[in-house]
Amino acid sequence: MTNREIKANLVLAGVTHSEIARRAQVDISLVTRVIQYKRKNHKVRLTIARAIGKPWREIFIEPALKAA
C-alpha cells in the first residue's frame, strides 16, 4: 500500500495516528515516519495492520519490490 492508502484505511477503521502511537507505546512522529516508509518499526507495523485488519506484509510492501 502507498502511504495514502494506509492513511485512508486507518480513517475507514476510525483509528488515528495518535491511537496507533498509544497502542504501540511509541511517539506519534514514529508512526508518521513508518507510514511514510521513512522508518521501519515492526511493532508499529503490526499495530497498524491489526487496526486495518490485514497482514502487515500485505500493507508494507517495500517500494523496490512493488516495481518488480
Calpha distance 16→48 (Å, rounded): 10
Q: What predicted TM-score, i.e. pTM, was given to this entire model?
A: 0.87
Buried b / exposed e across 23-36, counting CB within 10 Å, b at 16+? bbebeeebbbebbe
CATH of residue 25's domain is 1.10.260
pLDDT at res. 61: 83
- Range of the structural domain that residue 9 is part of: 3-67
Overall domain count for the chain: 1
User: For 14-56, how does the pLDDT look when each residue is reduced to its tens digit (9 = 90+)?
Assistant: 999 999 999 999 999 999 999 999 999 999 999 999 999 999 9
Q: Which residues contact 54 (CB under 8 A, 6 or more apart)?
A: 9
